Structure 1
Amino acid sequence: MSPSIRSAPRPAVRTDFPYETTREDVRIPLPGGLRLYARVWRPVTDEPVPALLEYLPYRLSDWTAPRDWQRHPWYAGHGYASVRVDVRGHGNSEGVPGDEYDATELADGVEVINWLAAQPWCSGRVGMFGISWGGFNSLQLAALAPEPLKAVVTVCSTDDRYDNDVHYMGGSVLGVDMHAWASTMLAFASRPPDPVYAGEGWRDLWRSRLESVEPLIHTWLAHQTRDAYWRHGSVCEDYTAIDAAVLAVGGWHDPYRDTVLRLVEHLDPAKVRGIIGPWSHQYPDRGLPPGPAIGFLQETLRWWDQHLKDRDTGVLDEPLLRAWISASHPPATVYPELPGRWVGEPAWPSPNVTPVPYAFRGDPVLVDSPHHTGLDAGRFFPFGNDADLPPDQRDEDAKSASFEFAVDPEGSGIEILGRPRVRLRLTVDAPAGQVIARLCDVAPDGSSTLVTRGALNLSAREGRDRAVPWPEGATEDVEFELNGIGHTFPPGHRIRLAVSSAYWPWIWPQAASAGFVLDPAGSGLDLPVRTRSAADRPLGFPPPEQSAPLEVVYPETATAPPRPERLVTRDVAEGVWRLEVDPRYGGTRVYPDGLEFTEDALETYTIQESDPLSAKAVSRWTVRLHRPALSWDTRIETRSETSCDAEHFTTVNEVVCREGDEVVFRRTWEKDIPRTAG
């Protein structure tokens, strides 16, 4: 049985700050008359202080409020005005929602930064931080270079919106999160403003939002190669545009961790530092598995003090990259803490890391994986739940072609840090297909722990910006990188590289894919092997601490036992496999201001094991916002479905909104989108 997340240690709560603090909600004006809703925590002082901005669409008055209270008051208590702002069209901000990171969102962000810098309580210097969406737009706004923005802390974010986000992987459509995140954002964008904060005009504002909502998956699927749409907001297009100092933070169990490696490689070494820990898609002070957690707020305070207050905190004396190297561990779907250690690299690429080739052996092998291969992939975005991480990979390995390399039982093991690379010689009898490679750590008892993985849409082999059909029956060599990782293979274990032609529901199956023949004679694996350096020194961080939590109540529901987080079922006669996922974002909670917030989501992914055109993803969301004292009761229900045939993706989305028992909005979208590269 997997260990419970409840055994993970929790951060210490601090209240003895250098400054007393105040809090107020304000509305930030934009050109044209719209106003964005903001919450400002400030230190009690007559001296102007720098401002820190977190800017995202996830509703500061409820959805992110528990997380916000862990950090914004902490920063205020240490001498910063810490500001949380809802993006236009979300929460209690005015306007209507747009696409992810669109030009309007970024232009608004520049206005917010300039407004903050002009306030009498601000020193004129601004920092920006955030995780995921807030980390994305922190980088993107840094690339726009508003004058007051001097420093950024970006966590679990990306510099490449096409190939390192929730939409595509290796040029292939992400079945699991392309669909799931689009359905999540449809539900999120449909939520009403809160009359306690938005005032009497909340209903008109809600209706204007609902009339403008469009499922984001329509746009995302319309751009199946890396075109101008994806280049917008991808700071990898021009790293030199970023002048602000950047602290890039990620976790080995987060899909965005490679961004940290690219940023420390391409940004000015005098203005960038990187940290990659063992974490999931979470701030690394929250104590959510896998740990260990670190004193992230203390570390970022060093960054802010260095760049916003001109104090020499020693943060630039730290190694360019601090990375966690996990020790070998048995497969499990959750780990309260992983074994391992911190290492420091003076540069990236590191002089301590050397690509070591491992040649495949054997005769050519047909790889034609059943289409349900990938059900043991784990969650694309691990959040610290009990069923997030991949279980034992032996079943997946059996559906793949595997190549193994022994680790000397008399040696010291093999330590890797960076992105492994695979080289494959393939013969394909169809114009399209995909190849997935998984690197596993195989213990003497046969258990197989997933270390890292990567994928390639074969039509993207000449570049993500084009779709080039495979000449039927031709043999070609392809190369691609796996996601970055720090891991130690101990003596007596085996390194396994497993290659499959399917990986559902992470990778949407190609219509005409029939597998491929893999020739070991032209194939191999390059591992980024790290040599322990004489310059290695013990690295560590202080223990995590936070400000006092918001007193939110999470009532137990007694109506039914909780459903599984991830449930796989099989119709034996029909060969149909079904994966049900409960993302468990938050459930029911009651806030100190009287708001009762309930949300429930369920994702299902089905496929017939021999039919790539049978793939289907369905997501359902229910959100209720209820204020009993005001007799205010609203409910949002959404249903999103994505399926396919040989020529098209078909999406069906429905939104139903109620105020009390009255349906105030209902709309259904049905759309066929040509399969151009996916």
Structure 2
Amino acid sequence: MTQQLAVAAQAAQPAVRLLKNLRIPSAVPGHDLSGDLYLPDAGARACPAVVMVSSPRKDAFGGIGTRRYCRNLAEHGYAALFVDCFGTGRSAGAPRPMLDPAEVDDAVGVIDWTSQQWWCDGTVGIWGESHGASIALAVAARQPAALKAAGAIMGFTDIERDLVHPAGVRGGIAMFGHLALYDLVNSLLPPLREAEDPEALTVWRDRVEHYEPWFVDAWRLAPGDPVWHDRRVDPSRITVPLFVVAGWRDIGCAAMVSAYEQARGPKALVAGPWLHGYPDASPDEPVAVTEMLRAWWDRWLAGGDGGDGTAAALERPTVFVQGSSPGWVQCDSWPSVPSRTDTYAAHETGTLTPVRSARSSHWSSRTVEHECDPTVGAASGLTKHLVQSLGHPLDQHDDDMRSLAFTTDPLDEPLTVLGRVEVHLVLAASTSASRCVVKLADVDGDGRSVMVTSGLTKLDASAPNGSAARVCVRLDPTAYTVAAGHRLRLVLTNADFPRLWPADRRERLDVVAAGADTPAAQVAAVTRLVIPVPDPGSITRIARPLPPQRHGGRRRRPLPRNRWRLARDFCGESASFALDVHYGGEHGSGVPARFLQRSFSITADVSRANPAAATVRAAGLETTESDRGRRLVVRADLDISTDEATVTAEVLIDGELAVGRRWRMTQPGTSTVVATDLRRGDDEQGEQT
């Protein structure tokens, strides 16, 4: 009976036709892109098309992670096209940096090309996750005529600000770790689906010959270089209906929420407690956002309402409130209109004092001195990195005590933060810090401190004319309720290691706070925390929007255990960070690979006595074995210090070295690169600027 039910269920599923490796013109003559097309198997009938252009390859992890969503779209009457970016997978050329203008040109061309195909009725949408989401936003901002709607899941709009140089400060292991390893193993992996096709091998060999890692590009370009401006998306130019998914703990959270706020057409926002990746597959509060996105297509591409009213319900921003009494709510607007604004002044005693009336509250001002500790940061979790399976904030109490911290008394009632918190810094003239990391923490009755949200600002070397400098820092958007009896904590430091590269010298962060004696200064003259408190009547509690949807597929081979380790040497005043993550899956879709596995290992070390000696070392490995026993291995290694970096990559086919490359760089922000072919041993030195 069970077997009969399974056969009947399989027969009831809508059939899908898969057309592999369609050739699509790119912006470079003679270099085609490659796309897989999923079609409803209902005859030669034109239908709305939904496009994804992305770097995760359709013959590798991109296909493993995305094909179920493409099939689901086809089962519901859409033509779903998944296209390899220029220089990745089966598409010709060498990879470009993310959001390079030519990359966006390609994607705009894909939209136009799609609208003219026999299987498309002329109506096209674009969507994507991570890199694909960034491309979707960039294309929507270009306003191609055939594009009628867009969806973006946890992407970026400014590669410099979001990944490489946050707030103009040298970044850490997001770009110079996770993304660098991803780019190396993803770009250099030989073809899997057409493993013995001479044309596919020619495309791959040409790519290897001209390949330059994202790492080299990011290292070469200094903060503020005009090239970064060319790689930014202007969300205010988006006028088509836009569906945005943000993760409160994702590195692109602020970028995605800002994109929603700035877009000028119909729009929807879903924000949850997620790290980076598809919320459908998240281990924390999984939600079928791809099903919600399909309802968006139903409304704006097919002229329906999603069948169950889902699309109409998305007109109200849907967010997950973290902290005490967690759960989903819908808001009347985003950002919500606050019913009041709570202000707290930093006090020289280390407390945060409520300011009942900014006009009537006066204190004397005092300078609170602090020598920054470069080992601070890792206890905040991996909330600004690119890992999905682990990394939510830890107890950061130890980091708080190594920072400049100001804490309230226990709250009399719960406090909900919904939107962006502001911190108004008043910096003493003695401050020498080059940046300030600002965190808002929730401190429970046992002293456990959990980060609510954070922000970052670059500081001038000195205050003007030796006077106090005033800086407003807007923290990342969030939704969080601090329980009654808990305390708020404002944490100030110059370090967030390994998210940020540490300053190369010892620095001071001295702030002006309220004093305890006779009134003398207005509240605006001291450092303070400002929290917009939403109107309870503007928020409606709801059930989980949609439970996760399972579209088949499973991992049949066990993987090594993920590990995340933090260590502190109290004698040497140093800190170490280590992360090992593993991914794997069976591809299917005609790829003759038994199992594809990827492993990343990243370690980072910094000492308080000599922050300039900080190091990051990372290793990536991608392996697969075909059903004919052909074994492919791609290895990548990064060795990074304050002034130097070495990137090494090797490709082994059945144990033989097929590709070996090494790039050596000195002094970030310069274009001196020495490239070595490890098989020949010859060097090619890049241009010096």
The TM-score bracket by the shorter chain reads 0.7 to 0.9
Give the partner amino acid of 2:278.
Answer: Y
C-alpha distance 26-186 of structure 1, shift in aligned 2 (>3 A): closer
CA–CA separation in structure 1 for the residues paired with 2:541 and 2:465? 54
- Contact 2:327–2:541 (CA<8 Å) still a contact in 1? no
Q: What do residues 373-396 of structure 1 show as CA deviations (whole Å, max 9, x unaligned)? A: 11212113364424x112111111
Structure 1: unaligned runs, 5 residues or longer? 1-13, 329-338, 460-467
- Distance (Å, rounded) in 2 between the aligned partners of 1:161 and 1:208: 27
What's the RMSD between the two structures over aligned residues? 2.6
Instruction: Give 1:22-171 correspondences, 5 Å limit.
Output: 22-30=17-25, 32-46=29-43, 47-163=45-161, 165-171=162-168
Tell me, what secondary structure is at the counterpart of 1:211?
helix
Secondary structure, in 3 states, of the residue corresponding to 1:580? strand
| Aligned equivalent of 1:332 | none
The residue type paired with residue 168 of structure 2 is G
Partner of 2:377: 374
Deviation at residue 537 of structure 1 after TM alignment: 5.9
* Paired residues of 1:297 and 1:544 also in contact (CA < 8 A): no
| Matched-pair contact (CA < 8 Å) for 1:51–1:81 | yes
Mapping of residues 428-467 of structure 1, within 5 Å: 429=430, 432-459=433-460
In the alignment of these two chains, the number of paired residues is 624
Structure 1, residues 212-258: CA drift from partner, whole Å, max 9, x if none? 1223233223434344322224223xx44323211111111112122
Matched, 1:290 2:284: yes
The SS at the match of 2:614 is: strand
Mapped partners of 2:462, 2:248: distance in 1: 33
Alignment partner of 2:219: what SS? helix
1:626 offset after TM fit, Å? Answer: 2.5
1:255–1:16 distance in 2 versus 1, CA, 3 Å: farther
Instruction: Choose 100-109 or 244-253, whichever is displaced more.
Output: 100-109
Q: Specify the code of the residue in structure 1 equivalent to 2:403.
A: S
Rate the CA distance shift 1:312–1:638 in 2: closer, same or farther, 3 A: closer
State the secondary structure of the residue aligned to 1:603.
Answer: strand
Cα distance in 2 for residues equivalent to 1:129 and 1:395: 41
> Comparing 392-401 with 342-351, which one deviates more in the overlay?
342-351
1:177 partnered with 2:181: no
Q: Does 1 or 2 have the higher relative contact order (CA < 8 Å, sep 6+)?
A: 1
Unaligned runs of 5+ in 2: 1-8, 349-365, 515-525, 671-689
Letter in 1 for 2:248: W
Candidates 208, 223, 230, aligned match of 1:225: 223
Counterpart of 1:440 in structure 2: which amino acid?
A
2:346 to 356, 360, 363: 360
Q: How does 1:414-563 map to 2 (within 5 A)?
A: 414-427=415-428, 429=430, 432-459=433-460, 475-521=468-514, 522-533=526-537, 536=540, 538=542, 540-549=544-553, 552-555=555-558, 562=561
What is the alpha-carbon distance in structure 2 between the residues aligned to residue 119 and residue 556 of structure 1? Answer: 42
Q: Which one-letter code corresponds to 1:285 in the other structure? A: D
Deviations 1:369-425 (A, max 9, x none): 322111212113364424x1121111111111211123543x3x1111111111112
- Whether contact under 8 Å (1:323, 1:342) holds in the other structure is yes
In the aligned structure 2, how far is the partner of 1:252 from the partner of 1:240? 22
Is 480-489 or 239-248 further displaced after alignment? 239-248
| Cα offsets for 1:462-507 (capped at 9, x unmatched) | xxxxxx7656965312121111110111111111111122221112
* Structure 2 match to 1:577: 575
Measured in 2, the distance between the counterparts of 1:627 and 1:399 equals: 52
* Cα 1:452/1:430, change in 2 over 3 Å: closer
CA distance in 1, matches of 2:34, 2:339: 47
Query: Does the 8 Å contact 2:438/2:492 carry over to 1?
Result: yes
Q: Deviations over 1:108-164 (max 9, x none)?
A: 21222122211111111111111110100000011122211111110101233332x
Alpha-carbon distance in structure 2 between the residues aligned to 1:671 and 1:469: 31
Partner of 2:685: none
Q: Is the 8 A contact 1:431 1:469 kept in 2?
A: yes
User: Is the CA contact 2:338–2:534 (under 8 Å) kept in the aligned structure 1?
Assistant: yes
Partner of 2:403: 400
- Stretch deviating more after TM superposition (32-41 or 246-255): 32-41
- Secondary structure of the structure 1 residue equivalent to 2:369: strand
- Matched residues in 2 for 1:36 and 1:353: separation? 52
Q: Which residue of structure 1 aligns with residue 674 of structure 2?
A: none
Structure 1: distance between partners of 2:399 and 2:170? 20
1:131–1:472: structure 2 CA closer, same or farther, 3 Å change rule? farther
Query: Match of 2:487, as an amino acid?
Result: R
- Kept after mapping to 1: 8 A contact 2:271/2:319: yes
Residues 594 and 581 (structure 1 numbering): CA distance in 2 closer, same or farther, change over 3 Å?
A: same
Give distance in 1, aligned partners of 2:39 and 2:236: 33
Contact 1:374 1:396 in 2 (8 A): yes
Residue from 661, 667, 672 that aligns with 1:667:
661
Q: Distance in 2 between matches of 1:15 and 1:263?
A: 40
Distance 1:240 1:393, change over 3 A: closer
Cα separation, partners in 2 of 1:183 and 1:26, compared to 1, 3 Å: closer
SS at 2:67 equivalent? helix
**Distance in 2 between the 1:276 and 1:183 partners?**
28
Q: In terms of mean alpha carbon deviation, does 149-158 or 473-482 score higher? A: 473-482
Match of 1:331 in 2: none
Deviations 1:33-74 (A, max 9, x none): 323222211112243111111111111122122322331111
Alignment check: 8 A CA contact 1:428 1:515 kept: no
Shift of 1:571: 4.8
**What is the deviation of 1:316?**
4.5
Instruction: Identify the residue that residue 342 of structure 1 maps to in structure 2.
Output: 328
Cα distance in structure 2, aligned partners of 1:221 and 1:429: 32
AA of the residue aligned to 1:347: S
Letter in structure 2 aligned against 1:370? D
* Corresponding residue for residue 652 of structure 1: 646
Specify the alignment match of 2:521 in structure 1: none
Residues 258 and 16 (structure 1 numbering): CA distance in 2 closer, same or farther, change over 3 Å? farther
Distance in 1 separating the partners of 2:173 and 2:86: 27
Pairwise CA distance, 1:25 = 0.5
Q: Which residue of 1 aligns with 2:260?
A: 264
Comparing 656-665 and 534-543, the one that deviates more: 534-543
The aligned counterpart of 1:206 is 204
Hey, what's the Cα distance between the residues in 2 that align with 1:485 and 1:137?
24
| Secondary structure of residue in 2 paired with 1:406 | coil
State the 1:533 CA deviation.
0.8
Q: Distance in 1 between matches of 2:220 and 2:341?
A: 38
2:359 matched to which residue of 1?
none
Q: Is the 8 A contact 2:126 2:149 kept in 1?
A: yes
Matches of 2:229 and 2:437, distance apart in 1: 25
CA distance in 2, matches of 1:84, 1:318: 25
Give 3-state SS (helix, strand or coil) of 2:380's partner.
coil
Paired-residue identity, %: 24
TM-score by length of 1: 0.86
Contact 1:400/1:499 (<8 A) preserved: yes
Is the partner of 1:548 in helix, strand or coil? coil
Q: Which residue number corresponds to residue 11 of structure 1? A: none
Whole-Å separation in 2 of the counterparts to 1:89 and 1:225 = 26
Q: What amino acid sits opposite 1:40 in the alignment?
A: L
Tell me, what secondary structure is at the counterpart of 1:634?
A: strand
Deviations 1:651-676 (A, max 9, x none): 21112222223322222211123569
